[in-house]
Amino acid sequence: MESPFISHIMFTLGPVPISFAVVITWGIMLALVSVAWLSCRHFRTFPAGWQAAIELLIITIDGQIAEVIQHNSKRFLPLIGTLFIFIALANLMDLVPGLSAPTAVFETPAALAMIAYFSVHYAGVSSQGLWGYLKSYMKPSIIMLPFTLLSQITRTFSMMVRLFGNMMSGQFLIGILLVFVGLFVPIPLMALHVLISLLQAYIFAILATVFIAAAMADQS
C-alpha cells in the first residue's frame, strides 16, 4: 500500500506542481459555481422543485448558524455554507469511480483549516476592534496568554488532522478489506463512510462557526 502522505502530481503549471486532488477540487468548484449560477437565473417568488430544494438547504444552514452566532449571523452564511457544501461534496468524491476524495490527502484540509483560521481572526478584529480582540487573549489574566495563543494553533491543526484522518482512514479501511476479503464485503463500510463524510463536513462547519462565535463573543 502506498503512503497517504504522498500526493500525486499530475502536471506542473510553470514552477507550481498541480496534484490530482487540486484538479478534483477545481472540478467541484466549477460544478458548484455553475449549478448555483444556473439555478439562480430564474428565481420565482413561490418556489417549486429545484429552487425549493436549494432554499431548504440554505435555510437549514442559516438556522444552524443562527443558533450559534446570536446576532448578525447572516454575515457568515456565505463562508460557512460554502465550507459545508464544498467539504460534503469533496468527501463524497470517493463514491465516483476513478476519483478519490481530495480531503483524504493533507493539502486540502490544510487549506480549508487555514481559511477557518484567518476568518476567525477577521471576525474577532472586525467585531471588537484590533486592540479589543488582542485584549481578549489575556482575558482572565495575562498568565493565560501562552495557552490561548497555543490553543489557536492546536485547534486549527486538529481541525485539519480530523478531516484528513477520518477521510483517509475510511479509504484505507475499505482498501484493506478489498484486498483481504473481496468485492462485496466493503459495501456496508462504504455506507458507513458516506455517513462519516457528511458528519465530518457538518463538524468542520460547526466548529468553524463555534470558533468564530467565540472570537466575537465580547461584543454582546
CB of 220 to another protein, least distance (A): 18
CB of 153 to another protein, least distance (A): 14
Contacts of 158 (CB under 8 A, 6+ apart): none
* The C-alpha cell that represents 77 in the structure block: 452564511
Judge contact between 215 and 167, C-beta under 8 A.
no
CB of 120 to another protein, least distance (A): 15
* The C-alpha cell that represents 136 in the structure block: 481578549
Nearest alpha carbon to residue 208 among 138, 146, 136, 160: 160
Nearer to another protein among residue 92 and residue 206 (C-beta): 206
- Please state, in angstroms and rounded to a whole number, the distance separating the CA atoms of residues 118 and 115: 5
Query: What SS3 class is residue 10?
Result: strand
Nearer to another protein among residue 79 and residue 168 (C-beta): 168
Nearer to another protein among residue 138 and residue 198 (C-beta): 198
CB of 50 to another protein, least distance (A): 28
Judge contact between 152 and 192, C-beta under 8 A.
no
Which residue ranges make up the site for another protein (CB under 8 A)? 3-5, 64, 67-68, 158, 161-162, 164-166, 169, 199, 202-203, 206-207, 210
CB of 130 to another protein, least distance (A): 28
Nearer to another protein among residue 19 and residue 209 (C-beta): 209
Judge contact between 91 and 198, C-beta under 8 A.
yes
- Please state, in angstroms and rounded to a whole number, the distance separating the CA atoms of residues 217 and 127: 9
Nearer to another protein among residue 64 and residue 82 (C-beta): 64
- Please state, in angstroms and rounded to a whole number, the distance separating the CA atoms of residues 137 and 128: 12
